[in-house]
Structure 1
Amino acid sequence: MRELFAGGRGRLWTGALLSAATSGCGIALMGCAAWLLSRAAEHPSASALALVAVAVRALGLSRGLARYAERLVGHDATLRVVADLRVDVFRALAQSGAPTRTGEVLSTVVADVEAVQDLWLRCLVPAAAAALVTGATVLAVLWWSTAAALVLLSGLSCALLIVPALAAVAATKEHSLAAQRSGLQVQVLDVLHGCAELTVLGALPSALDAADRAAAVLARVDRRAGLRAGALTAVSGVVQAATVLGVLAVALPAVRTGALPRVDLAVLVLVALASFELMAPLVEAGALLPRTWGALQRLSAARAVPVRPQVADVPAGGAVRLRGVEASYGRGAVLRDVDLDLGPGRCVVVTGPSGSGKTTLLQVLSGALVPDRGQALVDGTEVSSLDDVQRSRHVVLAEQEAFLFAATLRDNLRVARPEASDDVLLQALRDVGLDAWFGQLPRGWDTPVGERGSQVSGGERTR
């Protein structure tokens, strides 16, 4: 986690300090306002109230400014971290070579990344701010009454530690929530993408029923989680009420004996009440922590792609060789003891039934999949050790179904060469015989190709 937030650590901690300052200003504002109203009831001179009246205005303004700055700094830093993380995860998934279903990718790139955003904004920041404010508030109350400070410390400690811990324990009972949500996304996307095939086979109704059942199970789990969260919020409210009443109970005898001014009694009670403002988000933070921590572990696993060592370039036209290759996707070997020699100009046809490993062989040859055993070599150099540019000079993989992003024609062509000029892109279209087609496009390079290339023909998409 430290590595994940390393890029914006300064901004993130600044946001946490601003959050604590916001709550501190709110508690101080409540205390000053309580003193001002109570003292004003005694009809003192205006000069006796002037300083506190100015403090009330200053604290009110400071609280608003601190809240604005905290939202600005905290969200800016978090969104920067999330943007970098999403790029890292997408790059790692692209380089892993493992077959991943669209729903699983969607769950990882979108849901898990957003959960990490919640880890900082809705878990760590409230906890850090609450700890700072708790210490400062208890020290301030200690100046008035030791007994009241001890009661307040007990109540705030319970709200800061015990209630969120109960929420986290309750949330662990829903450990399957992320898996169920990912499974539902997989089922829905499978139905959407395979609607035509399912209709022809008469399997669409059963696929829809399976998706409905998965949605119903997920809804029940969400309902139970909501009930638990409501119960824990009620417990937090009981702790708050008990703490305020406890402060009142220990302060009243001091007021009767004259040890504590009557005006200060209102300050103590309202400060105790206001100090629980920052404790309310901690119930939600405790409930979110297991889910966000699980998302962080899944993202760490997704980003754990071996770094390819940099090697010197290999002359173009070198021979490609496989020696004792065994490859799998983590679920049993697909290729076993494969040897192959591909010299310059040689043509080889690989045949076999579906599932025999033809696509896996191509992925090993192209460096998209690192073999479990054996070697895939280009003139004696491991294919997987070459960077993308070097590897594309020797091995090019043209799959049956070309994937196009829901972007413009220019953006899709620049996936291979981000720095390519329009002239270079036009030459690429000429090389595959699409220059005449391009000349008929009203929007030229800005023509959208649609999701998965739906706005172009199959032949145009493949080329």
Structure 2
Amino acid sequence: MTRSTPPILRAGLIGAAATASGIALTATSGWLIVSASARPVILTLLTAIVAVRAFGIARPAFRYLERLRSHDAALGDLAERRTRTYRRLVPLTPARLGRRGRSEVLTGAVRDLDDEVDAQVRVTVPVLSALLAASVAAALTVLVLPDAGAVVATQVGLAGLLAGGLWRAERSTYAVSLRARAEVARVSALVSGNALELQAVGGTEQASRWLAAAHEDLVRATTRQGRVRSVGVGSLLLLTAGATVASAVLAARADLAGPVAALLVLTPLAVGDALAVLPDAMSARARSLAAAERLQALLEQEPAVRDSGDWPVPTADGAVPGLRLRRVTAAWAGDRAQLGPLDLDLEPGEHVAVVGPNGSGKSTLLAVLARALDPRSGRYELDGDDVRGLDLEQTRALFAVVDDTPHVFASSLRENLRLARPGCGDDEIGVALLDAGLGHWLAGLPEGLDTVLGAGGRGVSGGERARLGIARALLSGRPVLLLDEPVAHLDHPTAEAVVSDLLDASRGRTVVMVSHRLDSLEGFDRVVDLGGTTHRAEVGS
């Protein structure tokens, strides 16, 4: 093997040596047992004894080395692919994520990447190892008895054809199963999210029927998938049994010595054991291809921001820019605009609340301001310059965005905050938490900033989650804060306290907060209502 050989193929060749050692161990063990039954002089069995010991040691040694090589190659590839995927996801956020949240998309992409790369370990290596070792066994059997070798070769060939058919069936059933699972999730979310409304209109029984129908479809899809797998495994067992019986008949007709006959009879059995990895490998292959298709569909979308120049942002470091929209319209997809035409002036350091009915373009406005979505028409200026001529990365670095459900990572409180500004110290994190109204909460944590949050750690309430998102925004030091209904799920007293702490801590910065509720808006310089057709943002506080 040369250095140019792909690492995963080198692992497959090492795995083939481990599998071949297992086949040889079974065959030589049979030869040794039958030979020993005649009670010959022990010295005549030394070669077989040494071979059995050598193959017995070689199989786990090669398998261990194969595991090291294959997992090292797969994990290295996974790290590189994750980096590339994250870079490709950033331009798609949030305009191309559909109705899914950013954390949900990220989790799905990570799982799909895992499944795609996992195919190297669960498909490439085991299939290559099994087929190579089985082919070598067939070739060596031909040297002993050509007819028996032909039986083993036929066994290997039929197993390959069976694996191909099993893969096609697995792809079909896996796709059906995925659609059924997605439908169950969709109906469950629909029913649970509208439970009160369904009770009010007497629709709970109909909703139950929807759920029952979705679950029945899932059960049928899962059952079909299990049947396909069972047929594949059962067929391989029957193939192995047939090859073993055929070899036994041929060995008997050839009038061979007992030890040689035992070797020929056990070889198809050992080859069948090596080929038993094929059903699981085909299932992993179907899962990997489906994951790759989902990732491709996600990542090959056209970014929502295409107009970007290379002019440096005129705003000096730390300075708060003035923002101006003139007759701006914007849409996430399709021909219908979700925003505007809108005229809006945001003076440096101004605190503005944006209200309006559902569908009036509140979240779309924040996406345009944050340069996550291009205006469809009109002009968006930053300190008098059209943003479409400014460097995109520098422009986005001026904005900190907080949505209604900030993600809490399964890590320490320190790392949950430090992602907003890598390299910041504990004192700065403490100030951000204090400014966000989490000072008493932090003081009550026994492990302080080392407290683990999220899955497997300390849970956080809705108010604490909202304040953590605000603390990240404050810690980032960015001069413009854009908040998309950060207190939507909080009770009135908690919402008022969170907003009050936010405004106090962000004096000197521009704040634009979207809200569907008209309470908790005291303290803002202006309240902009997007309920009309053309909006000039002249509504007073």
Normalised TM-score (structure 2): 0.70
| Structure 2, unaligned runs of 5 or more | 471-501, 503-541
Q: Which residue of 1 aligns with 2:348?
A: 345
Among candidates 448, 453, 461, match of residue 454 of structure 1: 461
The amino acid that maps onto 1:353 is P
Change (3 A) 1:88 1:217: farther
Q: CA RMSD in A?
A: 4.0
Q: Percent identity?
A: 29
Alignment of structure 1 residues 307-456 onto 2, 5 Å: 311=310, 313-316=312-315, 317-318=320-321, 320=323, 327-330=330-333, 333-335=336-338, 338=341, 342=345, 344-345=347-348, 352-370=356-374, 378=382, 379-382=385-388, 386-387=392-393, 390-399=394-403, 402-405=406-409, 407-432=411-436, 434-435=438-439, 438-439=442-443, 441-447=445-451, 453-454=460-461, 456=463
Question: 1:226 deviation in Å?
Answer: 1.0
Task: Give, in whole Å, the separation in 1 of the partners of 2:190 and 2:71.
Answer: 34
Which secondary structure state, in structure 2, belongs to the residue aligned with residue 397 of structure 1? Answer: strand
Q: Is 214-223 or 179-188 further displaced after alignment?
A: 179-188
The amino acid that maps onto 1:315 is P
The amino acid that maps onto 1:413 is L
Question: Does 1:18 pair with 2:18?
Answer: no
| Structure 1, unaligned runs of 5 or more | 1-8
Task: Give, in whole Å, the separation in 1 of the partners of 2:343 and 2:192.
Answer: 39
Change (3 A) 1:112 1:392: closer
Q: Which residue of 2 aligns with 1:6?
A: none
Question: 1:361 deviation in Å?
Answer: 2.4
Task: Give, in whole Å, the separation in 2 of the partners of 1:399 and 1:107.
Answer: 18
Question: Does 1:298 pair with 2:294?
Answer: yes
Change (3 A) 1:345 1:12: same
Which secondary structure state, in structure 1, belongs to the residue aligned with residue 144 of structure 2? Answer: coil
Task: Give, in whole Å, the separation in 1 of the partners of 2:52 and 2:24.
Answer: 8
Deviation sequence 1:412-433 (CA, Å, 0-9, x none): 2222113221122123345545
Question: Does 1:31 pair with 2:31?
Answer: no
Task: Give, in whole Å, the separation in 1 of the partners of 2:396 and 2:413.
Answer: 21
Change (3 A) 1:70 1:325: farther
Q: Is 341-350 or 393-402 further displaced after alignment?
A: 341-350
Task: Give, in whole Å, the separation in 1 of the partners of 2:178 and 2:390.
Answer: 33
Which secondary structure state, in structure 2, belongs to the residue aligned with residue 101 of structure 1? Answer: coil
Alignment of structure 1 residues 38-437 onto 2, 5 Å: 38-79=34-75, 81-82=77-78, 85=81, 93=89, 95-96=91-92, 97=94, 98-101=97-100, 105=105, 108-109=108-109, 111-160=111-160, 162-174=161-173, 175-188=175-188, 210-255=210-255, 261-304=257-300, 311=310, 313-316=312-315, 317-318=320-321, 320=323, 327-330=330-333, 333-335=336-338, 338=341, 342=345, 344-345=347-348, 352-370=356-374, 378=382, 379-382=385-388, 386-387=392-393, 390-399=394-403, 402-405=406-409, 407-432=411-436, 434-435=438-439
Task: Give, in whole Å, the separation in 2 of the partners of 1:401 and 1:37.
Answer: 68
The amino acid that maps onto 1:224 is R
Question: 1:359 deviation in Å?
Answer: 0.9
Question: 1:59 deviation in Å?
Answer: 0.8
Change (3 A) 1:331 1:15: farther
Deviation sequence 1:341-393 (CA, Å, 0-9, x none): 65653967766531132212211220223567887664344389533xx3354
Hey, which of these two has a bigger chunk of helix by percent?
Answer: 1
Task: Give, in whole Å, the separation in 1 of the partners of 2:322 and 2:33.
Answer: 88
Change (3 A) 1:139 1:342: farther
Aligned length: 448
Question: 1:177 deviation in Å?
Answer: 1.4
Task: Give, in whole Å, the separation in 1 of the partners of 2:166 and 2:239.
Answer: 15
Q: Does the Cα contact within 8 Å between 2:18 and 2:63 map onto a contact in 1?
A: yes
Q: Does the Cα contact within 8 Å between 1:137 and 1:275 map onto a contact in 2?
A: yes
Q: Is 342-351 or 24-33 further displaced after alignment?
A: 342-351
Question: 1:300 deviation in Å?
Answer: 2.8
Task: Give, in whole Å, the separation in 1 of the partners of 2:376 and 2:166.
Answer: 43
Change (3 A) 1:49 1:419: same
Question: 1:107 deviation in Å?
Answer: 7.2
